[in-house]
Structure 1
Amino acid sequence: MLIHPWDAARDAGEWQTWLAATDRFGILAVNNVDPAAAPLLVPTHFTPVDEQLVLHLARPNPVWPHLEAAVEVSLAVTGDQAYVPGYWRARADVPEEQGVPTSYYTSVRFVCRPEIIDEPDAKAAILAAQLADLQPEGRHVDADADPYARMLPTIRGIRLTVLRVEAKFKYDDDKPAEHRQHVAEQLEGRDQRSDVAAAVQRRRRLAEVGDRRTHRGGR
């Protein structure tokens, strides 16, 4: 994805902190074995484990032959998004109707090497890791006991070894600080869908990144 210098994560810790506070639900993108056909997109929960992401899918899922042929796949997570009207973004020296609208969002893309897991104990380990991550309150069913043990053959596990990560925080960080404060206030006032979450990211980035004009020596 396009990442301008002002949209980039400050370091790996920034996107890791964001991901830890976000529902681990993304889109797994796999190239189609037919180059003339569209890639396959699979919405799925996943769990980070060391340098890997683990997940499971139903055996009838049509992605399997494409995943078996894939050398690399992508898994992308996007959140804290908001539509920003143009009249909120107009410069002070032009009419509001000349402002250009945009979208705010955070997105993390993992490029990974996939491995399909069919061995029962290894699949059970993936399920255990996902339950611990996504259902931390407990009340789990042991994968070795019914009904999970009986259902285990109906799924396949996936380990994605992370090769590289792209992270984008698109919140107009190239704009003056007062402009960014203004749009954050507008988002909080509108308070629709994930407006407030986008405003939180905007204010956090302003506090941590500051005004880029100051970084450029006031130019």
Structure 2
Amino acid sequence: MYIPQHYKNEDLNEIKDFLAKNSFGILINTIDHKPWATHIPLELGTNNDGKDILVGHIAKANPQWKHFSENQEVLCIFNGPHSYVSSSWYKEEEVPTWNYIAVHVYGVLKILSEEATMASMHKLVEKYEQDSKHPISLKNMSPKTLRQVKGVVGFQIEITDIQATYKLSQTRTEDHAKIISELEKRDASSKSIASEMKNRKP
């Protein structure tokens, strides 16, 4: 994606932390010369060679998987908080803009065995159930219920490139305090952007 230098984030540890906390992404490949996208959890991990991967699964009823092929590069998009920024908050006249965090991950996709897919689903459920009041576990579910795994296709994506945009008014240092103050009066996403801006005060 196009990233102006001011907004490029190349801190891999920070980006990995973002991916772990914002793992609901968009998987994109091409079907009959048209882009096809599916919204799914894509969990960051490492493979047996220690390389960074994303792991996920989609329904077999979704035709996207029929166009998966070995060595095919796919794109995964992850969105973070975002917010409109009014130029009325600036000291000088300027057009409004939008602040946001977004990460694009490119990689080569490989279909997983049913056993590996089930293992990945166990990890997924354990991750998101840990804060539940009454956590459930796939280990306690009946074989009949778990047969649903036969209706999905699991895959892993070996990451080849990561591009991260953190657009947080870096070019308007003189207006930072005002922008943060105004964002903190708005919705949850705006407040999250304000927090990110505070963490990166120029």
TM-score surpassing 0.5? yes
- CA-CA distance at 1:71 after TM superposition: 1.1
CA contact (8 A) 2:27 2:40 kept: yes
CA contact (8 A) 1:47 1:129 kept: no
Structure 1 counterpart of 2:7: 7
- Aligned residue pairs, count: 194
Q: CA distance change for structure 1 residues 112 and 24 in 2, over 3 Å: closer, same or farther? A: same
The yes-or-no answer on 1:141 pairing with 2:135 is no
- CA-CA distance at 1:18 after TM superposition: 2.6
CA contact (8 A) 1:72 1:114 kept: yes
The yes-or-no answer on 1:205 pairing with 2:200 is yes
Q: CA distance change for structure 1 residues 120 and 66 in 2, over 3 Å: closer, same or farther? A: closer
Structure 1 residue identity aligned to 2:72? V
- CA-CA distance at 1:175 after TM superposition: 1.8
Structure ranking higher on relative contact order (CA contacts 8 Å, 6+ apart): 2
Unaligned runs of 5+ in 1: 211-219
Q: Normalising by the residue count of structure 1, what TM-score does the alignment of the two structures yield?
A: 0.81
The yes-or-no answer on 1:82 pairing with 2:77 is no
Structure 2 counterpart of 1:128: 122
Higher strand share: 2
Structure 2 residue identity aligned to 1:28? L
Q: CA distance change for structure 1 residues 112 and 12 in 2, over 3 Å: closer, same or farther? A: same
CA contact (8 A) 1:88 1:99 kept: no
Q: Normalising by the residue count of structure 2, what TM-score does the alignment of the two structures yield?
A: 0.87
- CA-CA distance at 1:180 after TM superposition: 1.3
Give the greater-gyration-radius structure (CA): 1
Tell me how far apart the structure 2 counterparts of residues 146 and 172 of structure 1 sit (CA, whole Å): 52
Tell me how far apart the structure 1 counterparts of residues 71 and 183 of structure 2 sit (CA, whole Å): 41
2:89 partner SS: helix
Structure 2 counterpart of 1:165: 162
Identity %: 23
Please tell me the root mean square deviation across aligned C-alpha atoms, in Å. Answer: 2.0
CA contact (8 A) 2:58 2:65 kept: no
Tell me how far apart the structure 2 counterparts of residues 49 and 85 of structure 1 sit (CA, whole Å): 38
CA contact (8 A) 1:58 1:154 kept: yes
Equivalent positions of 1:27-38 (< 5 A) are 27-32=26-31, 34-35=32-33, 38=34
Tell me how far apart the structure 1 counterparts of residues 65 and 71 of structure 2 sit (CA, whole Å): 10
CA contact (8 A) 1:142 1:148 kept: no
- CA-CA distance at 1:151 after TM superposition: 1.3
